[in-house]
Amino acid sequence: MYNRNRNHWNRKSGGNFAQNGRRYSHPRFTKKLDQNLFIRKSSVVELPKEQESQARFSDYVIDEKIKRNIAEHGYKIPTSIQEQSIPHILLGRDIIGIANTGTGKTAAFLITLINKSLVDRNQRTLILVPTRELAVQIRDEFKIFAKGTNLEAVAAIGGVNIKNQTYALRHKPHFVVATPGRLKDLIERREINLLFFQNVVLDEVDRMVDVGFLHEIKYIVSLLPKIRQSLFFSATVDKKTEEIVKSFVTNPVKISVKRQETGENINQDIIKINKNSSKIDTLHNLLIKPEFEKVLVFGKTKWGAEKLSKALIDRGFKTAAIHGNKSQNQRLRALQEFKDSRLQILIATDVASRGLDIENVTHVINYDAPSSYEEYIHRIGRTGRAGKTGIALTFVE
């Protein structure tokens, strides 16, 4: 929450977060945001334009096993980025995709590159992502599309035993999904040789740059084979990400399906905390309402998120917290329980605000105000997905 102590943000534990065993200061130290930015009524929910495609997954020239897996997963019509990128990826073209989280880009590159490995079992793919949670999510999505193909994927991430990962890498998996810090560590230990990866995906590049991985990405790109297929995805491309683009792709196809900043189908409002009520009591009174079925609550600091989680558990709510001080296994277990609706409430710092695809989140509550409007957009994007209506509430004192 923004208050008289906000100028001391970097002195708190929440001003930094752990990524692959390291700590980074948040690059955007911001002033208090205008509360009017958090108020917006949703429009009539209509099917998004990308669902109006005339293409079908069954039309693509891909292996029948993959087609069956896609159908079993319930996919019939490709999203806009899938329709625009899949044919080019199948032809071996490099891609620059400007797309927000939730547009379907993960399936676009997984489906096509899994097919590439089925056509030629020597083809291997490296996928580089900013967070551990996103790496695990992509690895799990790989399992869906690659079922019955005997292809394997390994998530190379920090926070878990590196020995298990090095053992898995010695079996030469077709797909490696990695975070930059852990991948650099594995390279330095000579447990992975990037020259054997003919296909490389950089996903959410702006976020990787945002959290301080620019040098690691440049180093990793420098070790890649000259002849490769390169897929670059980012919500934005600024000067720093442009540096990466220049050295990464060759004669790329540029695709932009960037959505507006906040969804038309998200009701956004503020909750004013007055002198006669506490934040925790106000939150409690919201969470006991039946419509608050699956709620993602954002806090500013790791300590604050943990304290809030324990307070809600004491009040009888099914709650867990994810933040940088939790072990990777604890974070993944909490996420899975929330996805499976075994938890009503997940308390999170901004480590969880981007890249995660959690179905049917009814509400996002900003218990502590976001550090920037950009962060606000990423937070509330966890609700109102797939054409459903969501609600985003921001506490204001």
* pLDDT higher than threshold 50 for residue 210: yes
For residue 149, what are the β-bridge partners?
none
240-266: per-residue pLDDT in tens?
A: 899 899 999 999 999 998 655 555 678
Looking at residue 224, its pLDDT comes to 97
Looking at residue 202, its pLDDT comes to 97
> Which residues make Cβ contacts (< 8 Å) with residue 204, sequence separation at least 6?
101, 129, 130, 134, 233, 234, 235, 354, 355
User: β-pairing, 295-298 with 345-348?
Assistant: parallel
* pLDDT higher than threshold 80 for residue 387: no
| Mean pLDDT, rounded, for 164-169 | 95
Domains with residue ranges and CATH for the chain: 6-45+264-396 (3.40.50.300), 49-256 (3.40.50.300)
Write the single-letter amino acid at 223.
Answer: L
Looking at residue 331, its pLDDT comes to 86
HEC per residue, 316-381: CCCEEEECCCCCHHHHHHHHHHHHCCCCCEEEECHHHCCCCCCCCCCEEEECCCCCCHHHHHHHHC
